[in-house]
Structure 1
Amino acid sequence: MKRTIRFKYVCLSVMLLAANANHLRAQDSLAVYVEQAVKNNPKVRADFAAYQASLQRIAPAGSLPDPEFGFSFYLKSMEQVNGKQIGTLDLMQMFPWFGTLKAAKAEMLWMANASYEKFRVSSLDVIYNVQAQWYLLNSIQAKLTNIRENIKLLKSLEEIALYRYKSPGIKGKSSGSSSYSSGSSAVSSTSQAMQATQGGSGMSGMGGASSGSVSSSLATPSSQSASMEGAMPSSSMSGSSVGMSDVLRIQIERAELENTLETTQSQFTTVMAAFNALLGRASATSTFVPDTLLIKPFIANNDVAWQRVVEQNPMLSMWKAESSSYEAKGEMVKKMGYPMVGIGLEYMINKKKPEDMNSMNSMNGMDMIMPMVKLTLPIYRKKYKAQLKDSKLMKQSAELEYQNTRNELQASFVAINLRIADASRKIALYAKQHKMAQTTFELMLREFTTSSASLTDVLQVQRDLLNYSLKQVEAVVEYNIAVAEFEKIIAKDDLIINKK
C-alpha cells in the first residue's frame, strides 16, 4: 500500500514538473521568436537605420558654417605707394545670430526622437503580430488534438454499435451479464477516449472540468448486471436492436471529422508559413508549438494603465517630438531673420619697386594685413515670415495629430478592456457548458449501452461536446490576442527595444 502511494506521488510529481517545464518552454520559445522577429524584420531594420541616420544630422545642424578662404593675384602688378601689389589672401568666418545654432540642433534632436518613436511603433507592431500568430498556432494545434481525440471517441462508439448490432436479442441472466460486461468494456474505452479529449484539448488554466470515469460505474459487471436484472424487466435488458444504419451514421460522422482534421491541418500549415515570414525564415522551417493553450496573465489597473499609455505610447511620443521640433524650427527661423556677422582677415602681398624720390622707403615692399567685419542684411522679410508661419502651422498640425491619436487610443483602450472581459466570460461559460455536456455524454453512453438512449442523442451530445471545446479554444485565443494588443498600446515590451 505504501509503495502504491509512493508510486502515485512520484507520478504526480513528474506530471507537475513536466507541465511546468512545458509552460516555461512555451513562454521561453515565444520570447525567443519575438526577439528573432524584431531583429530580422525588414521594416524594423529600415526604421532603425532611419533613426541612426537622423542622429547624424544633429552635429552638422549645430556647427558653424565653413570659413571662406580667397586668393587673388594680378596678372600685372599694380603699383602703389608702398610697392607693387601682386595678390591678396582673405579668410572670413560667418557667425549666425546668437541662439540660431542651438535652435537648429534642438530641431534635429527632436526629429531624431520622432524617428526613434517611429522605430518603436514598428517594433511593437511586429511583437504584437508575432504573438497573435503564435496564439493562433496554439489554437489550431489544440483543435487538431481535440479533433483527433474525438475521432478516437467515435471509433469506440462504433465498436459499441457494432456489438449491439451483432447481439440484437440476447436475453437471460447469463447472457445479459455477458452482454453487459462486453458493453462495459466498450464504454470504458469510449470513456477513456472522452477523457483524452478533455485532457488533450490542452487548455491549461481555462477552468475546464476534469472528466469523470464512466468505467467506474460500469466496471463491476457481475454485481451491477445482477442488480439491474432484478430492477429492470427482461425487455429492458434485451433493448432495441441497433441497425447497420446506425453504424454507418457513426462512420459518416467520423468521416466528416477526418475531413475537418485535414482542413485544420492545411490551415495550420498556412499560419505556420505566415509566422515564419514574420520571423524572416523559410516558410517550411519547423517551429515548436506546445499542445497546451495557456491563458496570458493579465492584471491591470485601468487608471494606471491609461496613464502609462499617455506617457509611453510611441505614437503619442512621436507627435510630441515632432511638435517640439517644429517649435525649435520656428525659433531658428526667427533667429535667422537677424543679421549674420562675419569676421576675417585680408593679407596683401606686395613687391618692392625701384627706389626713387617718391617712394616711401620704410614701407616699400611691405605686406599688409587688414582685419574685416562683414554683416548680412536680411531685408527680404517675406521668406522669413513664410518659414515662420510654416513652422507654426506644422506645430499646430502635430498637436492636432497628437490629440486625434490620443482619442483613438482611448477608444481602443476601452474596447480592448471590454473584449478582455467578454472573452473571460466566454471562457467561463464554455467551461461550464463543456462540463455539463461531458456529464450528459457520460450518461448518454450509459443509457445507450442499456438501450435507453438513441444513437441520435449520443451523436448530438458528442457534437455539442466538440463544439464547446472548440469554442473554448477560440475564446482563449481571443482573450490572449486582446491582452497582447493591450500590452502593445501601453508599450509593455519596450525592454526588448534599445538604442544600440
Structure 2
Amino acid sequence: MNFKYVCLLVMLLVAGNSQLWAQDSLAVYVQQAIKNNPKVHADFVAYQASLQRVIPAGALPDPELGFSFYLKPMEQVNGKEIGTLSLMQMFPWFGTLKAAKSEMSWMAKASYEKFRESSLDVIFNVQSQWYQLNSIQARLTNIRENIKLLKSLEEIATYRYKSPGVKGGSIGSSAYSPGSSAAAQASPGMSVSTSGGMAGMGGASSVSATSSSTPASMGGNMSSSSMSGSNGSMSDVLRIQIERAELENTLETTQSQYTATLASFNALLGRSSATAVIIPDSLMQKPFIANDSAAWVTVVAQNPMLAMWKAESASYEAKGEMAKKMGYPMIGIGVEYMINGKKPVDMNSMSTMDNMNGMDMIMPMVKFTLPIYRKKYKAQIKESKLMKQSAELQYQNIQNELEASFVAINLRIVDASRKMALYQKQRLLTQTTLELMLREFAASSVSLTDVLQVQRELLGYSLKQVETVVEYNTAVAEFEKIIARSDFILNK
C-alpha cells in the first residue's frame, strides 16, 4: 500500500465527513498532519516492512546442491568414479509453513493496528491543540476588550476628579461634552467581546451596554444628582491604572502561551513553528450523539489497541503451533548423480559387468531429521503459551482502561454541556448587571470597586464559557479517538 494513496484517502474522507469536522480549517490541518507527521510515516513504513516478512515465512527452505570429485579417479566395478553431483530439498512437517506464515501475518496485522493508533493520536492531538489555540485567542480578545473598558472607566474617573464642583445639570449639558466620547465608551459603545465560542452556543458575540438613547438618559440621571468633590478621587484613577497594568501583563503572558501552543501545533503538522494558523472568530460545538448504546460495542470492535493485542495473541498461538510442528521430523527428497569414466578392459577376463564400464549412475535419496533434543521444542511451545497469556492480559488491561475512559469521557461531555448552559446564563445576567452599574457609576450611585468586581466577573464567565466549549469539543474528540470513529483506515 502506498502512503500517498493513504493520505489521499484521508483527504477525501475527512473533507466529506461534515459530522466529524465542524471547521473546514481544522480538516485541512488534519490532512497536513497525516501527510507530514514523521511518526505516522515511521509506523506506516514499519507496517510495510512487516508485510515483507509474510512471504519468506511460508516459503520452503532453499534446496541443497552438492558436488564432489576425486583428485585421482577411483576404480570401481563399473569404471572410474570421477565425482558426484547431489541435489536435496527439505520439507518441514505438514502444517509448519502454514503456521509460520500465519504468525507473520498476525504480526503484520499488529503493526497495522499500531499505525492506526498513531494516526488517531495525531488526529486527536491536532484537534486538542487547535481547540487550545481557540481558547487562548478568545482569552486574548476578552482581555483586550477589558482593557478598553478600563480605559473608558479611567476617562470617567479622571473627569469626575477634575470636575469636583460641577453640578449635575451642567454636566448633563455643555460641561460634560468634553468627556462625551468617554461616556459613550463607558455606556452605549462599551461592549465585552465573547468571541471564540459564543456563536456556537446561541450567545451573541457582543452585547451593547445600553441603547442609543442612553447618553441622554445618563445625562438626566447625572443632572438629578449633585456631584461634589467627593464624587471622584485620584485614588479611583490610580486603582484603575493598577488594574489595567495587571491586565496588560496578563495579555503579554497569554500571548506567550499562544506562541508556545502555536509551535506545538505546527510541530504536529511538520512545518515551521512560526507558521500562522487561521483561527475562526467563533468556536462551534462539535456534534455528539449522547446515550449511544452501541458505542461500547463499537469501541471493543474497532479500537486499534485492542485489535493490536488481539493480533499479538493470535500470532503467539500460531508460533506455538509452529514450534510443535518443528518437533516433528523434516523430510528431505533428493537425487545423486555419479559421474564415471571408462577403465581399460582386459580382453582375457571379460565379464558381464563390462557393459556398464563408464556408465554414469543416478541414485534417488530420502533424508529425515531426528528431533531428539526435545527440551528446546518444549521450551518454545511453553514460551508461546506464556506470551499468548501475556497478550491476553494486556488486552484485558487495555479494555478495562478504555471502559473507565469511556465512562469518564461521557461524564465530562455531560458535565461540560451543563456548565455551558450555566455560564451562558450567568454571563448574560452579569452583563445586564454591569450595564446597570455603569449607569449608576456615572450617576455616582455605586462605587468603582463594585463596577470593577462585576466587570471581572463578566470576564470570568465569558472565559469559562469559551473554555467549557473547548473542554466539550476535546472530550468529544477523545471519544471519537477511542471509538475510532474518525479513523480513515476503517473505510478503505
| 8 Å CA contact retained: 1:146, 1:201 | no
Deviations 1:313-356, CA, capped at 9 Å, x for gaps: 01000000001111111111121122111111110000011112
TM-aligned CA distance change 1:56 to 1:228, over 3 Å: closer
Which stretch shifts more, 313-322 or 143-152?
Answer: 143-152
Letter of the structure 2 residue corresponding to residue 252 of structure 1: I
Corresponding residue to 1:294 among 256, 263, 284: 284
- What is aligned with 1:255? 245
Tell me the TM-score normalised to structure 1 length: 0.88
Letter of the structure 1 residue corresponding to residue 288 of structure 2: F
TM-aligned CA distance change 1:69 to 1:450, over 3 Å: same
- What is aligned with 1:67? 63
- What is aligned with 1:397? 390
Deviations 1:19-63, CA, capped at 9 Å, x for gaps: xxxxx9982222222222223222222222211111000000000
C-alpha distance in 2 between matches for 1:331 and 1:351: 50
Letter of the structure 1 residue corresponding to residue 479 of structure 2: F
TM-aligned CA distance change 1:267 to 1:192, over 3 Å: farther
Question: Does residue 169 of structure 1 match 2:165?
Answer: yes
C-alpha distance in 2 between matches for 1:97 and 1:88: 29
| 8 Å CA contact retained: 2:440, 2:446 | yes
TM-aligned CA distance change 1:473 to 1:448, over 3 Å: same
Deviations 1:249-272, CA, capped at 9 Å, x for gaps: 212211111111111111111111
Runs of 5+ consecutive residues of structure 2 not aligned to the other structure: 1-19
C-alpha distance in 2 between matches for 1:414 and 1:172: 62
Secondary structure of 1:355 counterpart: coil
- What is aligned with 2:470? 477
- What is aligned with 1:303? 293
Secondary structure of 2:293 counterpart: helix
CA offset at residue 193 of structure 1? 5.1
Corresponding residue to 1:143 among 139, 142, 147: 139
User: 1:31-50, aligned counterparts within 5 Å?
Assistant: 31-50=27-46
Q: CA RMSD in A?
A: 2.5
| 8 Å CA contact retained: 1:120, 1:497 | no
- What is aligned with 2:114? 118
Letter of the structure 2 residue corresponding to residue 208 of structure 1: G
Secondary structure of 1:483 counterpart: helix
User: 1:59-458, aligned counterparts within 5 Å?
Assistant: 59-171=55-167, 173=169, 176-178=172-174, 186-192=182-188, 194-195=190-191, 197-208=192-203, 211-220=207-216, 232=224, 235=226, 240-356=230-346, 357-359=349-351, 360-458=353-451
Runs of 5+ consecutive residues of structure 1 not aligned to the other structure: 1-23
Deviations 1:142-184, CA, capped at 9 Å, x for gaps: 1111111111111122222223223333337565444677777
CA offset at residue 225 of structure 1? 5.6
TM-aligned CA distance change 1:153 to 1:475, over 3 Å: same
| 8 Å CA contact retained: 1:187, 1:214 | no
Deviations 1:416-453, CA, capped at 9 Å, x for gaps: 11111112222211111111110010000111111111
Which stretch shifts more, 301-310 or 267-276?
Answer: 301-310
Letter of the structure 1 residue corresponding to residue 214 of structure 2: L
How many pairs does the alignment contain? Answer: 470
- What is aligned with 2:6? none
Secondary structure of 1:280 counterpart: coil
Secondary structure of 1:284 counterpart: coil
Secondary structure of 1:89 counterpart: strand
- What is aligned with 1:10? none
Letter of the structure 2 residue corresponding to residue 295 of structure 1: Q
| 8 Å CA contact retained: 1:274, 1:283 | yes
| 8 Å CA contact retained: 1:26, 1:289 | no
Letter of the structure 1 residue corresponding to residue 486 of structure 2: D
C-alpha distance in 2 between matches for 1:260 and 1:33: 29
- What is aligned with 1:55? 51
| 8 Å CA contact retained: 1:114, 1:321 | yes
Deviations 1:46-85, CA, capped at 9 Å, x for gaps: 2222111110000000001100100011111111111111
C-alpha distance in 1 between matches for 2:74 and 2:189: 113
CA offset at residue 474 of structure 1? 1.8
Letter of the structure 2 residue corresponding to residue 458 of structure 1: V
C-alpha distance in 2 between matches for 1:265 and 1:453: 34
- What is aligned with 2:459? 466
CA offset at residue 123 of structure 1? 1.7
C-alpha distance in 2 between matches for 1:364 and 1:358: 11
Which stretch shifts more, 279-288 or 338-347?
Answer: 279-288
Secondary structure of 1:169 counterpart: coil
C-alpha distance in 1 between matches for 2:386 and 2:284: 50
C-alpha distance in 1 between matches for 2:198 and 2:239: 30
Which stretch shifts more, 453-462 or 169-178?
Answer: 169-178
C-alpha distance in 2 between matches for 1:486 and 1:25: 14
Which stretch shifts more, 376-385 or 53-62?
Answer: 376-385
TM-aligned CA distance change 1:243 to 1:378, over 3 Å: same
| 8 Å CA contact retained: 1:153, 1:193 | no
C-alpha distance in 2 between matches for 1:25 and 1:77: 84
CA offset at residue 238 of structure 1? 6.4
| 8 Å CA contact retained: 1:327, 1:395 | yes
